[in-house]
Amino acid sequence: MPAETVFWVLVGLHVTCAVVGFGSVAFSGVYGFIAAGGGSEEEVRRYFASASRLEWLVLAVPFLGAGALGVAPHGRGVVQLWSMLAAAVWLVAATLLLGVVRPAERSLRTAAAEGSAPDPGAGRRLGWAGLGSDVAFTVAFFLMVIQPR
């Protein structure tokens, strides 16, 4: 398979994982704010009835991006200012996902399974971490589009 084809396949996977993964975190954040604000317990319970696995795609994003940069025809490779800045932004998003989003979701999922009221604190943490993750996605997208040198 030609390097250019591999490049575009990796870029497509990179973009798909970013949009689906960060989109999933955004939805969880919205439902976190609903849980924190005393919204419909039934709706919150229904959303958190099962574990979200799509947000794990966020963790694959930089590896697919680095792979694409590594095989990019006529590219400068992985060691570029914008790609290192995007990796730092991703590290923030991954920290939010693993350190805040997943534990808050677990807390809300446990409450939903037990039929008890959702923890507003967990909902707020999830909502703000989801928002922070969206900001990270936006910054990373901006870096990829303008590619500062």
Q: Mind spelling out the 3-state secondary structure of the chain?
A: CCHHHHHHHHHHHHHHHHHHHHHHHHHHHHHHHHHHCCCCHHHHHHHCCCCCCHHHHHHHHHHHHHHHHHHCCCCCCCCCHHHHHHHHHHHHHHHHHHHHHHHHHHHHHHHHHHCCCCCHHHHHHHHHHHHHHHHHHHHHHHHHHHCCC
Residue 102's pLDDT is what? 95
The pLDDT value recorded for residue 8 is 94
Block means of pLDDT (10 residues each) for the chain, 149 residues, are: 89 96 95 88 86 93 92 77 90 95 94 88 96 94 84
What pLDDT is recorded for position 18? 95
Does the pTM surpass 0.75? The reply is yes
At 20 the pLDDT is 96
- Spatial contact of 133 and 22, defined as CB atoms under 8 Å apart: yes
Residue 20 — φ and ψ, nearest 5°? -70, -45
pLDDT at 40: 80
**Residue linked to tokens 């008890």:** 116
What is the structure's pLDDT at 96?
A: 95
